[in-house]
């Protein structure tokens, strides 16, 4: 079977999601979404990490990291997870979008980033806008950090998180 790049017509019809590791810096380009956490984002951008500013949309260091990585990776969506600050979405066609955290109680953050990329990708696949997908992913992450150990979120739990 021939290898296809992320820019081939077949690949463009799919959502390609990447959770990067700055210790294994691959040249990600033209993928649907890349989701680093704050530490990974600063490391991947080659910039020194600074203390978070609230709100993230006014955090000049974080905004610069988003600009650098958006240019470097040329992804459709750059979604940086920010722990207790939620997520910040960067797109070429819109200003950064902040979805604040939805966690009520935090017991264990294991798997929170995996939940974000999984639900963000699922929501995009189902037709959500990138901002809607960020909100859905953020709600799901808020549910799983409220559980002990690596956890999952059920559809009922996700729906309930929007009502709380």
The per-residue pLDDT for range 5-40, each reduced to its tens digit, is 555 544 556 898 999 887 776 777 778 999 999 999
What was the pLDDT predicted at 11? 52
Q: Do 138 and 88 meet the contact criterion of CB atoms below 8 Å apart? A: no
Q: How many CB atoms lie within 10 A of CB 27?
A: 6
What was the pLDDT predicted at 156? 97
Question: Which of 1-5, 72-76, 100-104 has the highest mean predicted lDDT (pLDDT)?
Answer: 72-76
Structure tokens at 23: 């210790």
Going by pLDDT thresholds of 50, 70 and 90, the confidence category of residue 1 is: very low
Q: Which residue has the higher pLDDT, 149 or 53?
A: 53
Secondary-structure class of domain 9-163 per CATH: alpha beta
What was the pLDDT predicted at 6? 54
- pLDDT, one tens digit per residue, over 90-131 is 999 999 999 998 767 887 788 899 999 999 999 999 999 999
Structure tokens at 140: 């799901």
Q: Of 7, 4, 11, whose CA–CA distance to 29 is shortest?
A: 7
Residue located via tokens 């709600």? 139
For CA atoms 122, 123, 129, 134, give the dihedral sign.
negative
The share of the chain scoring above pLDDT 70, in percent, equals 91
* Arithmetic mean of pLDDT, 69-76: 92
Q: How many CB atoms lie within 10 A of CB 89?
A: 25
What was the pLDDT predicted at 103? 62
Question: Is the confidence at residue 148, as pLDDT, over 50?
Answer: yes
CA distances from 144 to 5, 37, 104, 135 (A): 34, 16, 11, 15
Would you please indicate which residues are annotated as catalytic (active-site) residues?
114
Going by pLDDT thresholds of 50, 70 and 90, the confidence category of residue 149 is: confident
As a whole number of angstroms, the distance between CA 53 and CA 77 comes to 22
Entry pTM? 0.89
Residue located via tokens 């000049």? 60
What was the pLDDT predicted at 9? 45
């Amino acid at each position: 079977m021939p290898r296809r790049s992320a820019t081939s017509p077949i690949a463009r019809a799919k959502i390609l999601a990447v959770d990067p590791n700055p210790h294994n810096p691959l040249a990600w380009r033209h993928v649907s979404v890349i989701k680093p956490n704050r530490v990974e984002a600063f490391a991947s951008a080659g910039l020194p990490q600074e203390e978070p500013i609230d709100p993230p949309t006014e955090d000049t260091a974080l905004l610069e990291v988003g600009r650098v990585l958006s240019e470097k990776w040329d992804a459709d969506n750059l979604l940086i997870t920010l722990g207790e600050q939620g997520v910040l979405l960067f797109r070429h066609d819109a200003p950064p979008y902040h979805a604040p955290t939805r966690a009520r109680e935090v017991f264990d953050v294991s798997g929170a980033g995996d939940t974000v990329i999984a639900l963000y990708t699922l929501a995009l696949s189902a037709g959500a806008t990138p901002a809607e997908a960020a909100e859905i992913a953020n709600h799901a992450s808020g549910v799983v950090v409220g559980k002990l150990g690596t956890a999952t979120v059920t559809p009922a739990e996700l729906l309930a998180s929007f009502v709380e």
